[in-house]
Amino acid sequence: QKEVEQDPGPLSVPEGAIVSLNCTYSNSAFQYFMWYRQYSRKGPELLMYTYSSGNKEDGRFTAQVDKSSKYISLFIRDSQPSDSATYLCAMSEGTSYDKVIFGPGTSLSVIP
């Protein structure tokens, strides 16, 4: 079993839809959870980071962490064609322990 699992997709939604992206993990020591967006042939771009359980909102993006279920989610409201990219979840045990483990990514297409 991989440490971080993510449905690879591809996920295709119409413009304006609410998108739900999810990751599960096995290491209960993970405390920091990040979401990155990666456009084709580009480096990953940090979208959001959260500590421990709970929700965090930033514009159209909401990150949720449920440590009891070892499950994290990213919701995108009012999705736009410019949101079409691969979304990577990532997590680490702490900010001073710098080994970040990435999921394989979910490919998202938002159709105009």
Partner 1 sequence: DTGVSQDPRHKITKRGQNVTFRCDPISEHNRLYWYRQTLGQGPEFLTYFQNEAQLEKSRLLSDRFSAERPKGSFSTLEIQRTEQGDSAMYLCASSLRDRGDEQYFGPGTRLTVT
Residues that bind partner 1 (CB under 8 A): 4, 6, 8, 32, 34, 36, 41-46, 49, 51, 88, 90, 92, 94-105
**Which one, 81 or 94, has the nearer CB to partner 1?**
94
70 vs 104, beta carbon nearer partner 1: 104
Of the two residues 1 and 14, which places its CB atom closer to partner 1 in the complex? 1
Strand pairing category for 4-6 and 19-25 = antiparallel
What b/e sequence results for 60-86 when a residue is b if at least 16 CB atoms lie within 10 Å of its CB, and e otherwise?
ebbbbbeeeebebbbbbeebeeebbbb
β-bridge partners, 82: none
- What is the smallest separation between the CB atom of 107 and partner 1, expressed in angstroms? 9
Least distance from partner 1 to the Cβ atom of residue 15, Å: 26
